[in-house]
Structure 1
Amino acid sequence: MVSTSELSSASASAYTPFLDSAFYTGDVSDDWTYKIASQDQLDQLSEARQMHQALPRPLRVLVLYGSNRQRSFSKLMSFEAARILHHLGCEVRVFDPHGLPLKDDDDTVRPFLSPTSDGQTVGTDAHPKVQELRQLVTWSEAHFWCSPEQHGNLTGIMKTMIDHIPLSLGSVRPTQGKVLAVSQVNGGSQSFNAVNSLRILGRWMRMFTIPNQASLPKAWTQFTPEGRMMDSSNRERLVDVVEELVKVSCLFYGRDDTFATRWSERKEKAQVGRLLSQAEKEQAKGSN
């Protein structure tokens, strides 16, 4: 399990699979994301790059995709977004959902669970993949989400990841005030059901979702055998989304006191010295 303090120095193989050499047929300098985003190449996203360079440190972006398939098009699309972010100077981490359990608060003994220090079993909150995801969310300052559309909506894997991200971890609000970009891939014609649902989830997670979004139709026709996105208006839209994510995140950067706090929470802190968990609030109601 990776601690929050170790995430910045995590190995490339752990959280930056999008930089694997298998995705490049030639030199990295020939890569389309590098050409567009790098200051050393065409520098076509210079405004976003300059806004990002003005920050005191690189923006921390977490990328989530909703599929476990080996050749997952939501993963491939997420990797392209991650490359653009990387070439703009952001610190990018991609979470691999393999092994993430369904959310379960039952304390029944399960094969993947281990006893706590007091010998009591715990629910899936203690699962290493759940802990890893939550630590990445806490570490991050912006998110890029991509889900396949399946049966007219986002996948169960995508929803499971979000289900494991609580509105509060003690007195910490891990997603509140963070900037979000949403996207989806489709097996058939273009649809927007998944991104619409992701927007709803982002709002409930107290995140600021940017206006732009990307929906990739017939995703199986949009990538090379190496897993790279082919030139098209859909690829251009993805660039637009990533550029907007960086710009808006830069505007929000360092303004938690403005965008990530609420009057009711400030009042609660003033009264009891910290934010209460929902369980503590319910317990307080019962004792009144």
Structure 2
Amino acid sequence: MTQEDGSVSRVLREYKAYRLSGDAVEVDWVKDLDVAEATSCFQEQNLERPLKVLVLYGSLRATSYSRLLAREFARILDKLGADVRIYNPEGLPIKDDVSDKHPKVAELRELSQWSEAHVWCCPEQHGTISAVFKNQIDWIPLSLGSVRPTQGRTLAVAQVNGGSQSFNVVNTLRILGRWMRMVTIPNQSSVPKAWTEFDSTGRMKASSLRDRVVDVAEELYKFSMLLRDHSGFLVDRYSERKEKREKGRLLSQAEKEAEKIKDLAAKG
């Protein structure tokens, strides 16, 4: 096995577990989706450079409905021609004084920099997002030196509920997306009583809720393909251009704080 073969095998094993095999392929509802219209404008572009999508979910439970929903999004986006990777948050330390060299932290940040689009699937807990999900976002900084790990990426948001339908989580995720300088698409998915919407194999049952998930995935794909080659222009800021001219590069937040302290000390 070559090094390249080993790398591909690792990606399939760690990030594409959503892909089906055996008899599950025969009964997969995603394979029968008619998505030709959604992909018609981007076929050549996507063949040359498949859209890179990172999917995050917000629960470590053995039966995690946010993970099941994340996998359905991944399968649909895979069907649309995207290169989809799902990050497993198990083992990610709580954001504190733990070194950012921790392998799970480094993995998450590398995936965010690799991506061009995100899907965030989160359960509602006590009327808001779960700690598992927020911890992942906390570990993705607004900047790594001059690199913005999320700036300009497109984003789709979705939530699952144990009870009646709510939009608390998707609304909170939109706030986070804006803060992370992402382009959040208009459509979204909220799945009430999630335990009734998935069958015993973990697949989403046929319903208008499932159709909405397809809608959201298609919309993310379209927005992403239209914007990805222009995201640098769209998020270009006067203040950052000025900083680059004056400082030679974008400063990290720590460097900016150090400069403020230095200036205050000089003024005495």
TM-score by shorter chain over 0.5: yes
- TM-score, normalised via structure 2 length: 0.91
Instruction: Give the Cα–Cα distance (whole angstroms) in 2 for the partners of residues 130 and 52 of structure 1.
Output: 33
Matched to 1:238, the amino acid is: V
Matched to 2:153, the amino acid is: K
Deviations 1:16-54 (A, max 9, x none): 010143xx6x35254111110xxxxxxx22232123324
Instruction: Check 1:284–1:254 CA distance in 2 against 1; reply closer, same or farther (3 A cut).
Output: same
Preserved CA contact (<8 Å) 1:7 1:139: no
Instruction: Give the Cα–Cα distance (whole angstroms) in 2 for the partners of residues 75 and 66 of structure 1.
Output: 7
Please state how far the C-alpha of 1:168 moved relative to its aligned partner: 0.2
Preserved CA contact (<8 Å) 1:29 1:35: no
Aligned to 1:47: 37
Matched to 2:39, the amino acid is: R
CA-based RMSD: 1.6
Aligned to 2:64: 72
Matched to 1:210, the amino acid is: I
Please state how far the C-alpha of 1:260 moved relative to its aligned partner: 2.9
SS at match of 1:134: helix
Matched to 2:109, the amino acid is: R
Structure 2, unpaired ranges of 5+ = 1-5, 264-268
Aligned length: 256
Structural mapping, 1:93-104, within 5 Å? 93-104=85-96
Instruction: Give the Cα–Cα distance (whole angstroms) in 2 for the partners of residues 166 and 191 of structure 1.
Output: 28
Instruction: Indicate the larger mover: 55-64 or 11-20.
Output: 11-20
Aligned to 1:85: 77
Instruction: Check 1:197–1:27 CA distance in 2 against 1; reply closer, same or farther (3 A cut).
Output: closer
Deviations 1:227-267 (A, max 9, x none): 00000000001000000000000111211331232111111
Structural mapping, 1:66-215, within 5 Å? 66-105=58-97, 123-215=98-190
Instruction: Indicate the larger mover: 273-282 or 258-267.
Output: 258-267
List structure 1 segments (4+ residues) > 4 angstroms apart after TM superposition. Answer: 6-9
Please state how far the C-alpha of 1:9 moved relative to its aligned partner: 6.8
Match of 1:62 among 51, 54, 63: 54
Deviations 1:134-190 (A, max 9, x none): 000000000000000011111000000000000000110110011000000000110
Instruction: Give the Cα–Cα distance (whole angstroms) in 2 for the partners of residues 220 and 27 of structure 1.
Output: 20
Instruction: Check 1:9–1:170 CA distance in 2 against 1; reply closer, same or farther (3 A cut).
Output: farther
Instruction: Check 1:164–1:176 CA distance in 2 against 1; reply closer, same or farther (3 A cut).
Output: same
Instruction: Give the Cα–Cα distance (whole angstroms) in 1 for the partners of residues 114 and 149 of structure 2.
Output: 8
Matched to 1:230, the amino acid is: K
Instruction: Give the Cα–Cα distance (whole angstroms) in 1 for the partners of residues 99 and 244 of structure 2.
Output: 29
Instruction: Check 1:8–1:171 CA distance in 2 against 1; reply closer, same or farther (3 A cut).
Output: farther
Match of 1:31 among 28, 43, 50: 28
Instruction: Give the Cα–Cα distance (whole angstroms) in 2 for the partners of residues 69 and 145 of structure 1.
Output: 17
Structural mapping, 1:270-285, within 5 Å? 270-285=245-260
Aligned to 1:265: 240
Instruction: Give the Cα–Cα distance (whole angstroms) in 2 for the partners of residues 133 and 7 of structure 1.
Output: 17
Aligned to 2:266: none
Deviations 1:28-87 (A, max 9, x none): 254111110xxxxxxx22232123324240000000000001111100011001000001
Structure 1, unpaired ranges of 5+ = 1-5, 37-43, 106-122
Aligned to 1:216: 191
Preserved CA contact (<8 Å) 1:52 1:88: no
Matched to 1:141, the amino acid is: E
Identity, in percent, stands at: 57
Aligned to 1:17: 17
